[in-house]
Structure 1
């Protein structure tokens, strides 16, 4: 087999399992209000071409369903990467966008390599995506920030396009370094019969799969109460079903740290 440039966990990146990033000065200075704020964003990087990713997908689905007794609300997103496609199975949900985002976290968290499945919490901590204890610990210890108060309007300007308009306050002050407001369209309840590759013969289920991630806008030097607004458009896929989809909005700085997030279900008639 061709040597793997991006090994699944368990091949050559086991040393990554217990890597933890030291808290920054900004995190140490977080106010009590921030720590008792809104939801924690959990991102899974996964691939149907990786033998260990299905276990991570089960864990992330359970987390998103609320199976664990956590006092911390969570918002879950699953990014499918495309760098395992060469093994023999092309992940139908894999994208270069997911791969690029994971690469950004590798740099931001000063990791040695990329691997799947990987879970990233609030953009500040990471663990192997199958490590339930490590993931729950990272969630409960993550800094929390007030949830934005966006109001969302959904429109279908064409049969194959979803337009999302958002307006509201970030609820956290933004300094001169600025932040990006990101919007993810995700889908749950996906079932795939895998006929090739390392998961050949398995029927895989995937939830909270990011179909597209877009930037709503960039802001800097704004108060916590100032209204921020913007519109994004998402191309839709064949078989799109709004009842299986949702929108996650999150505030992210240039270091990919998350400073607040919000979740929306799509209207059934959109």
Structure 2
């Protein structure tokens, strides 16, 4: 299960969602990804982890769902379910409902130095699938000096640093591809239907 949290250091409603994501990540079946957005930077504090690409991804989900606006904190679960990220009861209800659902796609990862091998297969055709490679930092603490969270030391986990679409798979014939990687940050590979569709499968190398 993949949980994307769209969050910001400049959002006073976000710290409870940041803490909830870290708690959910204790489950080994959960891949937690915190994507810091940049659209609250204007209110006095520039998020040190923000990336315009993450804002664009959140906007893509909104457009795909027919929504005009985006907000923080928002959690998107398996590319399908969106929920206000600090509403713990709503989030845990979706997580419980989705737990144990079998994935139609198998992903196997192997790293050899600066090369990552990705092998995908499925029991039945699933249609076109985009292959995403994500890197994240385990955690960090930020002393916020201005904005809505001024004067607070905030703990963050699963901080996404890079997000790239590296291939498109036909979803039928088994595929093995190799991509360059560097550094020792954890690696997540997602198989997601194009245009912000469902995430069919995910795998991780810590």
TM-score (normalizing by structure 2):
0.90
> What does 1:114-193 correspond to in 2, within 5 Å?
114-142=70-98, 144-146=102-104, 148-155=106-113, 163-171=114-122, 173-175=124-126, 177-193=127-143
1:144, 1:259 within 8 Å by CA — same for their partners in 2? no
Is it true that 1:247 corresponds to 2:201 in the alignment?
no
| Alignment deviations for residues 124-171 of structure 1 (CA, whole Å, 9 cap, x no partner) | 11100001111112123235415633222153xxxxxxx441232233
> What does residue 100 of structure 1 align with?
56
Q: Kindly indicate which of the two structures has a greater share of residues assigned to strand.
A: 2
1:209 is matched with which residue? 159
Give the number of aligned pairs: 203
Listed as ranges, the gaps of 5+ residues in structure 1 are: 1-39, 67-71, 156-162, 237-241, 266-270
Given that 1:41 and 1:75 are in contact with CA atoms closer than 8 Å, whether structure 2 keeps it comes out as yes
Alpha carbons of structure 1 residues 87 and 174: separation in structure 2 relative to 1, 3 Å = farther
Alignment TM-score, normalising by the size of structure 1: 0.70
* Gapped regions of structure 2 (runs ≥ 5): none
Asked if 2 retains the 8 angstrom alpha-carbon contact of 1:217 and 1:230, the reply is no
CA offset digits 1:48-75 (Å, max 9, x no partner) = 0111111110000011123xxxxx9211
Q: Runs in 1 of length 4+ with deviation above 6 angstroms?
A: none
Question: Considering only aligned residues, what root-mean-square deviation do their CA atoms show, in Å?
Answer: 2.0
Structure-2 change in CA distance of 1:101 and 1:195 (3 Å) = same
